[in-house]
Amino acid sequence: MTDDAVPDRSDLRASDADRERVAEVLRDAVAEGRLDMAEFEERLEQTYAARTYRELAPITRDLPARGVAAPPVVSLQKEPSRDGGWAGRIVGGEGSSTWAVAVMSGFQRKGRWTVPRRFTCVAFWGGGEIDLREADFSAGEVEINCFAVMGGVQITVPPGVEVVVRGIGVMGGFDQRESGVVGEPGAPRVVVSGFAFWGGVGVERKMTRAARRQERLDRKAARRELHASFRDDVQEAHRRMLEGHKDLLRGHGLGLGPEEGRGRREERRERRREE
């Protein structure tokens, strides 16, 4: 008596959620500089073309999973998909950094970091960059308090975040273009306050490089689908036109077989002789 053979789980069919989890690891890798754009595009195409776990596993084998250093292996177990909405980015806690100073120099806060409830920065004859596009937030509302004296601070927020600008400028200013734009439901609120003297605080709204790349890939896929549909329509119209021409030829007796066609031609020659 033999036991039933246990199927290899790596041969099981992967789901759309499985492919999206692998694509998320690839987007993190390109944002961190582990992959260049050519490698990212190649692996992303392999991800969406994969049909089994065996085909998915090698794609991220040499990449670290989010927040850990060990190389990840694509899970062969069905797991609930991670919430990719704003709720997953409001994490609580104290924040990774609460202040920054640039005196005749510069500072940066970008990439994956946690924005505290109140972040204070000073730029004196220098400049600072605060990028929130990949950041988590310690609360649903955070405040960035900027003091720019003969210097500047540039704040970049992702689409969907509400921005309120309350800073005061003297021979300087705070960028108000993004203030008042309605945020997405559940998105954090960023309050920009402070003082600018002979300096400025700019606010702009931009997608991440990986998100822009993915948007371009989505547009290319949509164009390919549209072109394929148009080509099919043209081919169908051409087929119908040929069918119509064949019907027309049959109606005039030009679509007959060889013997019948030869007989008709001889009849026409006889009539021309008699005339």
The predicted-structure confidence for 233-275, as pLDDT tens digits, reads as follows 777 777 777 776 666 666 555 554 555 555 666 666 776 676 6
Looking at per-residue pLDDT, the higher value among 36 and 157 belongs to 157
Rg (CA), the chain: 32
Lowest mean pLDDT of 12-16, 43-47, 140-144, name the range: 12-16
- In 3-state terms, what secondary structure has residue 157? strand
Q: How far apart are CA 120 and CA 146, in angstroms?
A: 6
Which H, E and C letters describe 93-144, residue by residue?
A: CCCCCCEEEEECCEEEECCCCEECCEEEEEEECCEEEEECCCCEECCCEEEE
Angle at 257 between CA 254 and CA 260, to 5 degrees: 80
pLDDT band at 148 (very low <50, low <70, confident <90, very high): very high
Q: What is the DSSP letter of 184?
A: P
pLDDT of residue 67: 42
Residue 21 has pLDDT above 80, yes or no: yes
pLDDT of residue 17: 80
Tokens of 212: 């822009």
pLDDT band at 163 (very low <50, low <70, confident <90, very high): very high
Residue 3 has pLDDT above 70, yes or no: no
Residue 75 has pLDDT above 70, yes or no: no
- In 3-state terms, what secondary structure has residue 4? coil
Mean pLDDT of 131-155: 96
**pLDDT per residue as tens digits for the range 50-73:** 888 888 888 988 887 654 444 344
Residue 192 has pLDDT above 90, yes or no: yes
* Distant-in-sequence, close-in-space partners of 65: CB < 8 Å, separation ≥ 6: 25, 72
Bridging pattern class, strands 99-103 and 127-131: unpaired
pLDDT of residue 65: 60
State the burial class of residue 247 (Cβ atoms within 10 Å of its Cβ: 0-12, 13-18, 19+). exposed
| pTM for this model (two decimals) | 0.52
Name residue 28's amino acid.
D
pLDDT of residue 166: 93
Give helix 16-31 / helix 37-49 axis angle, nearest 10°.
170
* Distant-in-sequence, close-in-space partners of 242: CB < 8 Å, separation ≥ 6: none
